[in-house]
Chain A
Amino acid sequence: MSTWQDLVTASLIGTERAEVPAATVPGLPDRTEAVSDDPAVLLLDRAALLTVARRGGTLIRPTGPAELLPAAEPDQASAVSPAAGRRLGRMLGGEHPDLLAEWLTAAVARDRRVPAHLLPALLDRARRVSPSDPELRRLAAEAGGSRARWLARLNQDWAFVTAHTEADEDAWRRGGKSQRRAYLASLRARDPVAARELITESWAAAGPERVMFLSVLASQGLSLADEPLLEAALDERDAEVRGWAAHLLARLPGSALGRRMAERARGCVRIDAGVLSEHLVTSPPVQWDNAMRRDGVSPRGGGNLRQLDDRTHLLHEVLARTPLRTWTDEFGRTVEQILAVSSGAWAPVLFTGWSRAAMAQRDQEWMTALIDWALAGGQTGTLFGAETLRQLARRADPARCARETTATRAAETPPPVRDAISVLRFRYDMLKELEL
């Protein structure tokens, strides 16, 4: 409306120097007769009239052909329950963000998808944390379904969504590291044998990418068939590659590394019948050798083991890599029975060592028993024990710990235990909602 623009121009200059233009509104009688001889009043009067007339007469812009977006393909999977969606919203808002990957994994496993309106926050989060956790991007893309791919076309920031779904052999041959990782991970999920062969034949030329190979092996489908590759990697020069290989072999039930560890560990912990009551007798290793180093056990303080602390550290490292069946077989007792035997001042070391082993080997029976033991007041030690309990509460099957999650808020409960209970309860509810 040109009269409005004329008024704006006059108001910018000021009525001391500019004429006040006439204002007409189509369909209204001409109201330009002066009600005041002050041009400033006249300007404001006319501006008020036109302001209201323009607001009331807002015109619809015709929709241009470029404006409408192609519609997203419908999704086969259905959205999660409203309760699960609300919890995901809370997690994206900052509550237990470290459990996001578990939520997404559980949703993907049940073939359910993220509610559409939460996708922008989820994709933003996956983009931000990604360097430390490539898994989260993959999970977000998968749980986001076709709507996430549709959004990724609108916002460059989320391009990783389609990068993951479109990783093909071309990405492997010509792509950057993250694309190669994406291809390898999807091949591993589809065809573990082919993925292993690809790693084996690429190994010699891979250089620093070897760590990436091992992290893909770690993320899914680790089996004894991977052992020869990993055992050979123990002799690599790169310390990070050796560390990964030792870590994965220790996780693998029935590996030779596990048997070697069990050999070392057996002498260190035994049950003594005692005079009044039986107890666990613990004697940490007295020497460290190259064979232990090859298996990923590194000493503290240069390996001369003069201090008891250094030997304790070594025991802890060995326990963390020893197959847990070693203990039930050796003592001929259940996990609960073993943990019920008094271990005196060694309890914190045994707790953290066994907990690390249980988490690496994903042994739910041990994890549950260790949590039960800690929640019932077992001595987990100070900082290290509290951190271990924190991690256990994030990995143990919360349904098996359900008995404890309904328990206590007594004043004397130490903070780490209260924390563990609240995390277990949160995860229990979270997984229940995803079943709905």
Chain B
Amino acid sequence: MSVPEAKVSSVAERWDRERVLALAPDAPSQRTAHSLASGRAWTATGATAEADAVWGECRGSAPAPYRAVVDLTGPAYRCSCPSRKFPCKHVLALLLLWSAGSVPDDATGPPDWAGSWLMTRAGKASRAPSGDQAEPKDPRAAARRAEQREARVASGLAELDRWLCDQARQGLAASQQAGYAHWDDIAARMVDAQAPGVAERLRALASVPHSGPGWDGRLLEEYALLHLLAVAYRRQADLPGPLRETVRSRIGFSLRQADVLASGQPVRDYWQVLARRDLEQDRIRVRRTWLRGRKTGRDALLLSFAAAGQALDDSLTVGADADADLVFYPGAAALRAAVLARHGGGTVLPDDGPPEGGTIAALLAGYAAALAADPWLDSWLAVVEVIPARAPVPAVCDADGGGSLPLHPGAGHCWPLFALSGGRPVTLAGEWTPRGLWPLTAWDETGRAVPL
């Protein structure tokens, strides 16, 4: 029996599995992609030798195979399946196969169906204008636009305040019967008024009337804080500078990160990356990464955004330290920051190790102080030394028996946290919110960080 000579082709830089899985829109997609990522389901797979495109045909339930193709430079995806998830399981499975080295390089290039799509993409890319579009070209036009926006926001917030007062006048009891449109309409008007931060808060309210006992209080809290925001904007001239910045950023006047980095005072520290939480808002995924400086003891929140199909920033690993310069956004309780520069890339820092967990009393005191500066602050970094408890509701107790705080009802059973603790104190990092503590990271007995 003659044996074909083994050919070892040059391996272009391949994405690792984690990078592929980071593209998945949700956990079920990751699982189905795994089960599809076997050579049995796939025929006619190939990749260009330059590792800029991968394609393949996958047998599915339909008689014709699904055809998936990925432009790795974008990345951009296309699949002939009817799935509305993006990227779909076929694309993810194809990328997993490719990442595992199971897709052969094809020197003859992609088949026609993949090639034509890749060509159109290449054409679009070369026509796209280059340069930083956000750079204002004409300062006078820019000033005029800014003025127009202030006027729109002012009239929009005045309208919002009238709407809020109407709600208070008619009573909130009717909200339980109201549909999503009740909030979506006013949210849409805030979008038109160029106050996206307010619109987002309003949209989130639609679920409050169905969030269980105490919904009425929670809805009143949110209405009251929106009213406070509208009043604060109206009187912004009287406010101290940092608080004015806070008000404006809560409304949705966003600063360009480049401007913040250029104008702010950098803070260099060994930043412990303590916790990370991914949320989805309006088809945009948001990653919140919480840091604490080892030298300065200062907390920082990094935000990164990704549209569907794009991967979130993965450059900071929970449990590791980053030697970096951060620049904080202006504001009354300045938490949000951006990375200006990282130093000594990749080296392990001298005092890498678990953070020091504080008491629950210290956590609440810190939050109260921050709240005094920014009354809209509703998530705050918690790093505590606690014992998790189950009854009557999932909670964490001070290690020395001082007291307890409830876990956030949305965080579920938190079984991994309980398993890790085994009834003993653990160091826990999470987000403290008015509804409870959302656990995010715990450190095991060897001092290793475990994302929960």
With beta carbons under 8 angstroms apart, the residue of B1, B2, B101, B390 that contacts A409 is B101
- Chain B residues closer than 8 Å to A379, beta-carbon distance: 1
Whether A411 is near chain B, meaning CB under 8 Å from some CB there, is yes
With beta carbons under 8 angstroms apart, the residue of A82, A118, A386 that contacts B448 is A82
With beta carbons under 8 angstroms apart, the residue of B39, B173, B404 that contacts A418 is B39
- Chain A residues closer than 8 Å to B395, beta-carbon distance: 61, 67
| Closest B residue, CB atoms, query A121 | B416
Most A CB contacts (10 A, CB to CB) among B1, B9, B442 go to B1
Given the interface pairs A93-B34, A117-B450, the reply to whether A415 lies near B169 with Cβ below 8 Å is no
The size of the chain B interface, using a CB distance under 8 A, is 85
- Chain B residues closer than 8 Å to A237, beta-carbon distance: none
- Chain A residues closer than 8 Å to B102, beta-carbon distance: 409, 418-419, 422
| Closest A residue, CB atoms, query B33 | A94
Given the interface pairs A12-B173, A93-B34, the reply to whether A151 lies near B224 with Cβ below 8 Å is no
- Chain B residues closer than 8 Å to A63, beta-carbon distance: 389, 397-398, 401-404
B438: min CB distance to chain A, Å:
15
CB-based contact B423/A70 at 8 Å: yes
- Chain B residues closer than 8 Å to A5, beta-carbon distance: 217
With beta carbons under 8 angstroms apart, the residue of B228, B404, B422, B450 that contacts A67 is B404
- Chain A residues closer than 8 Å to B314, beta-carbon distance: none
CB-based contact B6/A410 at 8 Å: yes
A44, B224: Cα distance in complex, Å: 5
Binds B, one of A13-21, A162-170, A217-225, A300-308: A13-21
With beta carbons under 8 angstroms apart, the residue of B34, B165, B387 that contacts A38 is B165
Whether A55 is near chain B, meaning CB under 8 Å from some CB there, is yes
CB-based contact B172/A11 at 8 Å: yes
Whether B418 is near chain A, meaning CB under 8 Å from some CB there, is yes
Given the interface pairs A93-B31, A416-B39, the reply to whether A411 lies near B216 with Cβ below 8 Å is no
With beta carbons under 8 angstroms apart, the residue of B106, B170, B387, B423 that contacts A150 is B423
- Chain B residues closer than 8 Å to A82, beta-carbon distance: 448
A5, B221: Cα distance in complex, Å: 12
CB-based contact A48/B227 at 8 Å: yes
Whether B136 is near chain A, meaning CB under 8 Å from some CB there, is no
Whether B270 is near chain A, meaning CB under 8 Å from some CB there, is no
Interface string of B430-452 (1 = CB under 8 A from A): 00001000000010101010101
Whether A346 is near chain B, meaning CB under 8 Å from some CB there, is no
Whether B3 is near chain A, meaning CB under 8 Å from some CB there, is yes
Given the interface pairs A8-B220, A66-B391, the reply to whether A120 lies near B415 with Cβ below 8 Å is yes
Interface string of A70-95 (1 = CB under 8 A from B): 11100000010010000000100111
Whether A69 is near chain B, meaning CB under 8 Å from some CB there, is yes
- Chain A residues closer than 8 Å to B424, beta-carbon distance: 71-72
A82, B446: Cα distance in complex, Å: 10
Whether B258 is near chain A, meaning CB under 8 Å from some CB there, is no
| B 199-229 contacts with A by CB, 8 A | 216-217, 220-221, 223-225, 227-228
Binds A, one of B40-48, B137-145, B246-254, B293-301: B40-48
A217, B9: Cα distance in complex, Å: 48
A78, B52: Cα distance in complex, Å: 44
Interface string of A174-189 (1 = CB under 8 A from B): 0000000000000000
| Closest A residue, CB atoms, query B359 | A60
A90, B406: Cα distance in complex, Å: 30
Starting from the known contacts A8-B217, A44-B164, A60-B398, 6 additional A-B residue pairs (CB-CB under 8 Å) come to: A12-B172, A47-B220, A67-B404, A117-B450, A120-B418, A151-B419
A-B contact pairs, 30 of them (CB 8 A): A8-B220, A11-B223, A13-B173, A16-B169, A17-B171, A40-B165, A45-B231, A47-B227, A51-B224, A51-B375, A52-B375, A56-B367, A56-B371, A58-B367, A63-B389, A63-B398, A66-B392, A67-B391, A69-B389, A69-B390, A71-B422, A93-B30, A151-B418, A377-B3, A379-B1, A411-B105, A415-B42, A415-B43, A416-B39, A419-B39
